[in-house]
Chain A
Amino acid sequence: ETGVTQTPRHLVMGMTNKKSLKCEQHLGHNAMYWYKQSAKKPLELMFVYNFKEQTENNSVPSRFSPECPNSSHLFLHLHTLQPEDSALYLCASSLWTDQPQHFGDGTRLSIL
């Protein structure tokens, strides 16, 4: 139990579907992150939220849309995804942005 919970754990969707990934942390952290982990590639930072404000968008395509309604919850809205978007999507949180990050178990996303 890492304190960071991601749902769903697995998601299969077609390219025309719309779905959302959810991340929740009860650690009292103020910063939350989305990462993409593809096979044979390093983890890639996608988005950073600090106190609900987006502070980093690492050139992520607009078909990925993050939402952070409060410091405990983070969503990643998906629409019109491509097969190359199939990956493990990891959420993380930290007390402040310069503190160690705690990761969730990830959502394994497969695009058909």
Chain B
Amino acid sequence: ELKVEQNPLFLSMQEEKNYTIYCNYSTTSDRLYWYRQDPGKSLESLFVLLSNGAVKQEGRLMASLDTKARLSTLHITAAVHDLSATYFCAVDPPGSGSRLTFGEGTQLTVNP
């Protein structure tokens, strides 16, 4: 059974600081997604990582994928309050037929 683990699950950080959220998964996959969810809102797709070594950046967020280590990271640079949300990673292993398995989510709070 595929397991997807995120850490930390809760993160409180100051504005302008940097931090990294980690996503480990237990089986082979070369497709990983990062989503953002604001309270009471839908999940918003942030990044799709499709190969080993993939790195994508959007604003203050940068995501990377290491398929050999079965690890993805979401790095936050110079955090701002607007980044406060819950961040999910999701893995879609080969042959799963679009069966995304999500991590528990990391609840990020950026304090002024």
A103–B43 CB distance below 8 A: yes
Q: How many residues from B make CB contacts under 8 Å with A? A: 23
A43–B48 CB distance below 8 A: no
Known: A45-B99, A58-B99. A90 touches B43 (CB 8 A): yes
A105–B42 CB distance below 8 A: yes
Q: How many residues from A make CB contacts under 8 Å with B? A: 26
Most chain-A Cβ atoms within 10 A of its Cβ — which of B43, B99, B105?
B43
For A90, the chain B residues whose CB sits under 8 A away are 42-43
Which residues between 70 and 99 of chain A lie within 8 Å of chain B, taking CB atoms? 90, 92, 94, 97-98
16 inter-chain pairs at a CB distance below 8 angstroms, sorted by A residue, are: A4-B42, A42-B104, A42-B105, A43-B100, A43-B102, A45-B99, A50-B98, A55-B98, A56-B97, A56-B99, A94-B98, A97-B98, A98-B98, A100-B33, A100-B45, A101-B100
Q: Tell me the bound Cα distance from A100 to B104 in angstroms.
A: 19
Please give the distance in Å from A94's CB to the nearest CB on chain B: 7
Please give the distance in Å from A58's CB to the nearest CB on chain B: 7
Interface positions of B (Cβ within 8 A of A): 4, 31, 33, 35, 40-45, 48, 88, 90, 92, 97-105
A104 at the interface (CB under 8 A from B): yes
Please give the distance in Å from A34's CB to the nearest CB on chain B: 12
A21 at the interface (CB under 8 A from B): no
Please give the distance in Å from A81's CB to the nearest CB on chain B: 22
A98–B92 CB distance below 8 A: yes
Please give the distance in Å from B105's CB to the nearest CB on chain A: 7
